[in-house]
Amino acid sequence: MKTEERLRRVTLGSRETHNDTIYLAEFDPGWALDFAKLKREISGALGEKVLLLEHVGSTSIQGLAAKPIIDLLLMVEDSRIEQDYVPPLENIGYVLRIRETDWHEHRLLKTPQPFGNLHVFSRGCEEVERMILFRDWLEANPEDRILYEKEKRRLAAKKWKYTQEYADAKSEIVTKIMECATQNQT
């Protein structure tokens, strides 16, 4: 399915076009502080509904250049039951933007300052483990981190209509790294 068609199907509200290259910032140790702030807000809003809340994505990996947007991974009991977590998050300025019922029942909320993407999954979802494994593998394996960053920079230099197209273009290198990480899991 084409990116535009998929975005039309899963996006709530207007779809934002990018029509430019992707900006990658050099690693910023302040990203960990941004995550800590967002984690406090989310935990305060949701309390015990938070089963897991992790900093994931490139901003969570020491030394890796990244789009300066904090990716957070939230596991709740059942991401399909949006009334359990969306209204409390909306009360603190978060906005539900993506509802992917055909991909792990994934929900994505945009955070207020600092900018972030809150990825919501259900208890037991395999994507939770995959995202954490990818982060931990890149953190512990500088060769793959360098390989990943090199590919990110190559792709970021291209113009993309949607930022999602850039994310999708990284799939090949992510798959390659995940195969290695999975084979070497202890």
Distance CA 116, CA 25 (A): 15
**Quick one: tokens of 41?**
């807000």
- In the three-class reduction of DSSP (H, G, I as helix; E, B as strand; rest coil), residue 11 is classed as strand
Q: Are strands 52-56 and 95-100 parallel, antiparallel or unpaired?
A: unpaired
The pLDDT assigned to 1 comes to: 60
Tokens of 44: 């305060």
pLDDT in tens, 76-93: 999 999 999 999 999 999
Mean of all residue pLDDT scores within the chain: 95
pLDDT reading at 33 higher than 70: yes
Query: What span, in angstroms and rounded, lies between the C-alpha atoms of 4 and 162?
Result: 8
Model-level pTM? 0.95
What are the tens digits of pLDDT across the range 124-172?
A: 999 999 999 999 999 999 999 999 999 999 999 999 999 999 999 999 9
Torsion of CA 138, 59, 65, 31, to 10 degrees: -130
What mean pLDDT comes out for the span 168-184? 96
From CA 12, how far away is CA 150, in angstroms rounded? 33
Q: Which residue has the tokens 């029942």?
A: 105
pLDDT per position as a tens digit, 98-121: 999 999 999 999 998 899 999 999
Is 97's pLDDT higher than 90?
A: yes
Angstrom distance (rounded) from CA 13 to CA 7: 11
Q: Which is it for the CA torsion 58, 65, 7, 178, positive or negative?
A: negative
Positive/negative CA dihedral, 72, 66, 64, 146: positive
Q: Is the pLDDT of residue 184 over 80?
A: yes
